[in-house]
């Protein structure tokens, strides 16, 4: 590894948005540590000597520690983190169960907390600062009665808030924090039969594409004067309908 080569961690990286973001960084010469529960068994990642795979539940402290330890041991440090792992499903509020709550908060909040805490500690021990990108949702800003998703708003709203908190706390230490708030993106999460309905939730009248998200992450990575930003990639959803 050269002294200028950066290492980024991407969670939820086996497919969809996470895999596309990880591949973006690999294509640009970054080292990538990619995580999902069974990423070593099945993934959509390019094969590269600059890629390390770490299996495990992101909601467990042991998984987060292993991810960051892998980045430090194999590549010499941590310079970036994309908190992409997340769970979303829409239900009327009173139909959510305790198991639903544990599953969603375990990934969306505990998963963020464990890996971000370890990654920031590694960034602070290095000499190059760092950058955190949290993947959020525009439902936080623009609730939709047709998509009841209170637990998504509870957890992703927390990510929006902590993005700003971390941006301010570490601004003078060279660490930036930003978020990308998404509308509905065409990923394996959504059944093709729902595409027409979901497209109508955006003023532009279409679903977002994975490349739209990748472009937003790349912009934030290359924007050193941008921190604490919640960048909406949602076809105008957060502006109204």
Residue 36 resides in a domain: yes
Length of the chain: 241
Mean pLDDT over 8-34 rounds to 97
pLDDT of residue 2: 42
Residue 157 resides in a domain: yes
Residue 48 resides in a domain: yes
Q: Please give the Cα distance from 81 to 241 (Å, whole number).
A: 33
Measured CA angle at 163 (ends 161, 165), to 5 deg:
70
Q: CATH number, domain at 140?
A: 3.40.50.720
Q: Please give the Cα distance from 123 to 173 (Å, whole number).
A: 9
Residue 71 resides in a domain: yes
For residue 70 the two structure tokens come to 């892998």
Residue 2 resides in a domain: no
Residue 1 resides in a domain: no
Mean pLDDT over 120-135 rounds to 94
pLDDT-derived band of residue 1, with 50, 70 and 90 as boundaries? very low
pLDDT of residue 24: 97
Range of the domain at 57: 7-239
**Total domains, the chain:** 1
Mean pLDDT over 84-91 rounds to 93
Q: Please give the Cα distance from 128 to 169 (Å, whole number).
A: 17
| Residue carrying the six token digits 């971390």 | 166
């Amino acid at each position: 590894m050269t002294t200028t080569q950066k290492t980024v961690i991407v969670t939820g990286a086996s497919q969809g948005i996470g895999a596309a973001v990880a591949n973006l960084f690999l294509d640009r010469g970054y080292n990538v540590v990619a995580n999902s529960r069974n990423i070593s068994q099945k993934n959509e990642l390019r094969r590269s000597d600059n890629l390390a795979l770490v299996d495990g539940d992101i909601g467990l402290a042991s998984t987060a520690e292993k991810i960051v330890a892998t980045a430090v041991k194999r590549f010499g440090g941590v310079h970036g983190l994309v908190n992409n792992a997340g769970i979303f499903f829409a239900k009327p509020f009173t139909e959510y169960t305790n198991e639903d709550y544990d599953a969603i908060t375990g990934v969306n909040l505990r998963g963020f907390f464990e890996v971000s805490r370890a990654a920031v500690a590694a960034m602070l021990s290095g000499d190059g600062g760092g950058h955190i990108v949290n993947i959020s949702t525009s439902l936080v800003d623009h609730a939709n009665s047709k998509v009841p998703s209170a637990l998504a708003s509870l957890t992703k709203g927390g990510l929006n808030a902590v993005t700003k908190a971390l941006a301010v706390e570490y601004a003078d230490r060279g660490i930036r924090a930003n978020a990308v708030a998404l509308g509905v993106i065409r990923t394996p999460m959504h059944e093709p039969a729902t595409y027409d309905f979901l497209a109508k939730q955006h003023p532009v009248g279409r679903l977002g594409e994975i490349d739209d998200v990748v472009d937003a992450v790349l912009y934030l990575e290359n924007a050193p004067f941008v921190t604490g930003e919640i960048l909406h990639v949602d076809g105008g959803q957060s502006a109204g309908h």
